[in-house]
């Protein structure tokens, strides 16, 4: 009875691993890329939110700009 339980667990684990890797190779087709190029899909699509984030960043760091790069203005990273 224990052998059947072990084989069942191995089979289920194999099926779970297989199902997790089955979708790993899917890519975006060329005709689907226009959906990601829309303005509402951009990370900074809301100009008011971007302005407020810049103000908060300037208030904390004492510098402006450089949002695309990592690191702060104090050199403690």
Domain membership of residue 9 (yes or no) is no
* Residue 15 pLDDT exceeds 80: yes
Domains in the chain: how many in total? 1
* Residue 75 pLDDT exceeds 60: no
Domain membership of residue 38 (yes or no) is yes
pTM beyond 0.85: the answer is: no
pLDDT band at 62 (very low <50, low <70, confident <90, very high): confident
Domain membership of residue 22 (yes or no) is no
| CA separation for the pair 55, 52 (Å, rounded) | 5
Range of 46's domain? Answer: 31-60
Q: Tokens for 18, please give them.
A: 């297989």
pLDDT band at 13 (very low <50, low <70, confident <90, very high): very high
Contact (Cβ atoms closer than 8 angstroms) between residue 73 and residue 61? yes
Contact (Cβ atoms closer than 8 angstroms) between residue 77 and residue 71? yes
Domain membership of residue 70 (yes or no) is no
Place of tokens 């890329």: 33
Domain membership of residue 66 (yes or no) is no
Domain membership of residue 43 (yes or no) is yes
User: When comparing pLDDT for 27 and 74, which is higher?
Assistant: 27
Domain membership of residue 42 (yes or no) is yes
Domain membership of residue 45 (yes or no) is yes
Contact (Cβ atoms closer than 8 angstroms) between residue 50 and residue 44? yes
């Amino acid at each position: 009875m224990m052998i059947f339980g072990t084989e069942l667990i191995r089979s289920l684990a194999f099926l779970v691993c297989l199902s997790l890797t089955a979708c790993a190779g899917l890519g975006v087709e060329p005709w689907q890329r226009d959906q990601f190029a829309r303005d509402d899909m951009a990370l900074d699509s809301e100009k008011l939110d971007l302005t407020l984030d810049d103000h908060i960043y300037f208030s904390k760091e004492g510098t402006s700009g450089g949002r695309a790069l990592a690191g702060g203005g104090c050199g403690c990273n």
